[in-house]
Structure 1
Amino acid sequence: MTALGIPSSRSLCLFDSNQAVYREKPEPGAMLLRTAKTHIRFGHFEYFFYRKQPEQLQTLIDFTIDNYFPHCRANSNPIKQMLIEVVEATALMIAHWQSIGFQHGVMNTDNMSILGETIDYGPYGFMENYDPTWIANHSDYEGRYTLENQPSVGLWNLNCLMRAFSGHLAKDDLIDVLSHYEPKLITHYRTLTYKKLGLSLDEKNSEKYDIEFVRELNQILKRESLDYTLFFRILSNIENPNDLSTVLDEVVDREPMAQWLSQYILKREQENVDWHNSSIEMLKTNPKFILRNYLAQHAIEAAEQGNYLPFRRLLYVLQTPFEEHPESEELSFRPPEWAKGLEVSCSS
């Protein structure tokens, strides 16, 4: 995730054990030691609030501001300023998730960092065939944490956090804090989406964003069951607008894609950007490699037999996912039929 540019906790070390752990089935145990700028979550504030422990809650608030948001002390309302920054950091993180097709899988408030870092990896996954309703967590029976629901769940969690501060800020202040979420998330997501397409967009010219243009592409991706990551990688390799055969060869119904590509070429020409240079930048934005569940499963099965080479190879390419790595080309391939739409659990 860090290599993809997404704020995240980090893995310090991983070691295994011969002792069996009983989950869905007995498996060799392993332990991952994680580091993060902080492990303080939304749920910590809720804990003291709902247990009616105001002194402990105040201690946690003071500690959080002093250690992670000290600049907020200069503000006339440091708690409100801190919460605005928490809201905006959360919005930026989720916008990153959406742009890369990452589904967290279990977005409880105790899995949300106050610093907007991705933490508590469990039943997560990267979307393969484009489907915003895909569920990574096999115990998410109602689809609460689908990819398309993550932005709204993020807002729900922030509402829960605001409730824990209801004794410290007036209702209007809490509403004002939450009002920062949606515009920040939408603007950042749109900027990232246009960057994936080789188009320019920022907060100053956000009105350029063509919702229908992006929606048409997503509809094609879904109808054709195209691999989300590989499609953008293929698009990134186009250096000549007169040769779009590699994109058209990915679809069965070529006409809708051809029409969309005509619009795409027009937008690129309006920006007057060299296609070769644009391709170089897009290849730095659209990864070739993601952690596909079936690749992780292969690495696990090999490690259980004492063979750590698949794990090391996978880790190596994931640390530089935008590079070509021709020696590991197969790690970028679409999943086989048996592995499509794999769901995992909190104990995976």
Structure 2
Amino acid sequence: MTVHFPFQNSYAALPANFFARVAPTPVEKPRLIKLNRPLALHLGLDPDQLDTSEGAEILAGKTLPDGADPIAMAYAGHQFGHFVPQLGDGRAILLGEVIDKDGVRRDIQLKGSGPTPFSRRGDGRAALGPVLREYIVSEAMAAMGIPTTRSLAAVITGEPVMRETALPGAVLTRVAASHIRVGTFQYFAARGDTEAVQRLADHVIERHYPHLKAAERPYPALLTAVIGRQAELVARWLLIGFIHGVMNTDNTSISGETIDYGPCAFMDAYNPATVFSSIDEYGRYAYANQPRIALWNLTRFAECLLPLLSDDQDKAVAEAQDLLGAFGEAFNDAYKAGLRKKLGLFTERDDDQLLAQALLDTMAAAGADFTLTFRRLSDAAGRGDNAEVRALFEEPAAFDEWAVRWRARLGEEPQSAEERRAAMRTVNPAFIPRNHRIEAVIQAAVWNDDYAPFEELLAVLARPFEDQPQFAAYADPPKPEERVCQTFCGT
């Protein structure tokens, strides 16, 4: 039985300076530890073929499937505000592209598959812990309906990787609408290669925004479209308490997907200044800073497109600034609409944002859990009883005062209590990938070769909006001794 990938590769057909052709480095004893069978079927792949020794070898990079054209993509990027003119895929190799059951082109990439010309003295490998983290969080994001890269498989390589200590090596098979980033455009713009910037822009339009091909001026339209997707994406991050942790321009996807789950985390207690990433020493990418950083990253994208907007530099800058000005409104509209849904409001009133912000301020003052507050609010809307929500606040009087305003606002709408509860439960998850749960999964896998906690957590997170009474403990925030205060990059 031969594993077949129906590759139709387009990025590898671009000029040679867009990438380096490089094959994965074979590993010793690959072992498949997780296969995303539903995703495999959606990609037109046979999960039974992948779930074999031959499949494990392909998913670990030990052998190449027919039709693969492995490449490491070139890109640059601003990392914590500092520009690096050449980054590129230092530990990831794009095997090729397939067309999924929806007719959408998807990249199949191996992450942790060995060194490439962009590795910058790195070993090109990945440790098991970061692979499991990305698998868990990306699939949880997908289950919550957040645009994201996906995880097709995780393979343990049978070889150690050296970080602070020797750790089990692993490879993640990542699936994305594409791996084109703001940093991809920066790579060519920094070299003054306007022809390559235009070629890349045309490729992006063809792949991600085909409706723009008929636009009178497609490049300003492309900038507008990317701004809109990023504004919507970051708003949705905030609405579920997600902190990316490393919002560099090379981690900003042109397709509008969440990409590169390094030191990412979800908030427990609500605090807009929350930072988990160990390398974000000054809080540049703190929870509440993410909209501002998204705009900063999009401004770098706009700078790359300036030669395509106008031959007149001043006119190009003025147009870019005008288009970037739409980000704030797009983000605010998406964020405010999301908050109304989380509060169970079906119509819009002028002071709804003040009502939402008052709750957030009360939560911050009390250290109330972000996810649990909104989930219990959903049930309170159906019962008329606030007891379970107010129990999350050490001093519930402030919440009680807010709840009076909330109940009065709900009374202005005709929906029944059960209709409201049902609607709120579709946007307020019961289960998120809490940091202490992820850490427990990683510890069991890395030190005991035990993947039962990993499988159970994935099963719970696959149904984030359902109660799942048998797994109710997974909804609980960490006890003080369980708190994970820092997350780390996998490199």
TM category (shorter chain) comes to over 0.9
Counterparts in 2 of 1:239 and 1:100: CA distance versus 1, 3 Å: closer
Q: Deviations over 1:262-310 (max 9, x none)?
A: 0000000001221122111111111111001111111112222122111
1: CA distance between counterparts of 2:413 and 2:294? Answer: 34
- Structure 1's consecutive aligned runs of 4 or more residues displaced over 6 angstroms after TM superposition are none
Q: Deviations over 1:216-249 (max 9, x none)?
A: 2112111111110011111111255642222222
DSSP 3-state at the match of 2:169? strand
2: CA distance between counterparts of 1:124 and 1:131? Answer: 16
The question of whether the paired residues in 2 share the 8 Å contact of 1:134 and 1:341 is answered with: no
The question of whether the paired residues in 2 share the 8 Å contact of 1:105 and 1:122 is answered with: yes
Q: CA deviation at 1:30?
A: 1.5
- Which residue of 160, 175, 188 maps to 2:321? 175
Q: Deviations over 1:9-43 (max 9, x none)?
A: 11111111332222233221121110111111001
> 2:263 maps to which residue?
123
For structure 2, the 5+ residue unaligned runs are 1-140, 310-315
2: CA distance between counterparts of 1:246 and 1:15? Answer: 42
DSSP 3-state at the match of 1:18? strand
Q: CA deviation at 1:75?
A: 1.1
> 1:184 maps to which residue?
330
DSSP 3-state at the match of 1:297? helix
Which has more strand, going by share of residues? 2
DSSP 3-state at the match of 1:34? strand
DSSP 3-state at the match of 1:12? strand
DSSP 3-state at the match of 2:171? strand
Letter matched to residue 24 of structure 1: E
2: CA distance between counterparts of 1:58 and 1:168? Answer: 7
2: CA distance between counterparts of 1:71 and 1:300? Answer: 43
1: CA distance between counterparts of 2:165 and 2:270? Answer: 31
DSSP 3-state at the match of 1:13? strand
- Which residue of 384, 395, 401 maps to 1:253? 395
Q: Deviations over 1:157-188 (max 9, x none)?
A: 00101111111112222122212211110001
DSSP 3-state at the match of 1:107? coil
DSSP 3-state at the match of 1:166? helix
2: CA distance between counterparts of 1:331 and 1:251? Answer: 20
- Which residue of 194, 197, 206 maps to 1:54? 194
Counterparts in 2 of 1:248 and 1:48: CA distance versus 1, 3 Å: same
Counterparts in 2 of 1:254 and 1:66: CA distance versus 1, 3 Å: closer
The question of whether the paired residues in 2 share the 8 Å contact of 1:239 and 1:279 is answered with: yes
TM-score normalized by the length of structure 2: 0.68
> 1:342 maps to which residue?
485
Letter matched to residue 462 of structure 2: Q
Q: CA deviation at 1:209?
A: 4.5
Q: Does 1:263 find its partner at 2:405?
A: yes
- Which residue of 248, 255, 276 maps to 2:418? 276
TM-score normalized by the length of structure 1: 0.95
Q: CA deviation at 1:51?
A: 1.1
DSSP 3-state at the match of 1:237? helix
Question: Greater shift after overlay, 14-23 or 162-171?
Answer: 14-23
The question of whether the paired residues in 2 share the 8 Å contact of 1:190 and 1:209 is answered with: no
The question of whether the paired residues in 2 share the 8 Å contact of 1:12 and 1:35 is answered with: yes
> 2:284 maps to which residue?
144
> 1:25 maps to which residue?
165
1: CA distance between counterparts of 2:282 and 2:381? Answer: 43
Question: Greater shift after overlay, 208-217 or 66-75?
Answer: 208-217
Q: Does 1:66 find its partner at 2:206?
A: yes
Question: Greater shift after overlay, 239-248 or 74-83?
Answer: 239-248
Counterparts in 2 of 1:83 and 1:239: CA distance versus 1, 3 Å: closer
The question of whether the paired residues in 2 share the 8 Å contact of 1:191 and 1:200 is answered with: no
DSSP 3-state at the match of 1:138? coil
- Which residue of 272, 285, 292 maps to 2:427? 285
Letter matched to residue 46 of structure 1: Q
Count of residues in correspondence between the two structures:
344
Counterparts of residues 150-229 of structure 1 (less than 5 Å) = 150-169=290-309, 170-201=316-347, 205=348, 208-229=350-371
Question: Greater shift after overlay, 152-161 or 276-285?
Answer: 276-285
Q: Does 1:43 find its partner at 2:189?
A: no
- Which residue of 436, 452, 459 maps to 1:316? 459
The question of whether the paired residues in 2 share the 8 Å contact of 1:42 and 1:114 is answered with: yes
The question of whether the paired residues in 1 share the 8 Å contact of 2:436 and 2:484 is answered with: no
Name which structure has the greater RCO, CA cutoff 8 Å, separation 6+. 1
Letter matched to residue 336 of structure 1: K
The question of whether the paired residues in 2 share the 8 Å contact of 1:123 and 1:346 is answered with: yes
> 1:330 maps to which residue?
473
Q: Percent identity?
A: 35
Letter matched to residue 279 of structure 2: S
> 2:441 maps to which residue?
299
> 1:7 maps to which residue?
147
For structure 1, the 5+ residue unaligned runs are none
> 1:114 maps to which residue?
254
1: CA distance between counterparts of 2:205 and 2:167? Answer: 42
CA RMSD, 1 decimal: 1.5
2: CA distance between counterparts of 1:307 and 1:33? Answer: 20
1: CA distance between counterparts of 2:247 and 2:387? Answer: 40
The question of whether the paired residues in 2 share the 8 Å contact of 1:229 and 1:287 is answered with: yes
- Which residue of 77, 82, 87 maps to 2:227? 87
Q: CA deviation at 1:339?
A: 3.1
Letter matched to residue 164 of structure 1: C
The question of whether the paired residues in 1 share the 8 Å contact of 2:275 and 2:283 is answered with: yes
Of the two, which has the highest radius of gyration?
2
Letter matched to residue 50 of structure 1: A
Which has more helix, going by share of residues? 1
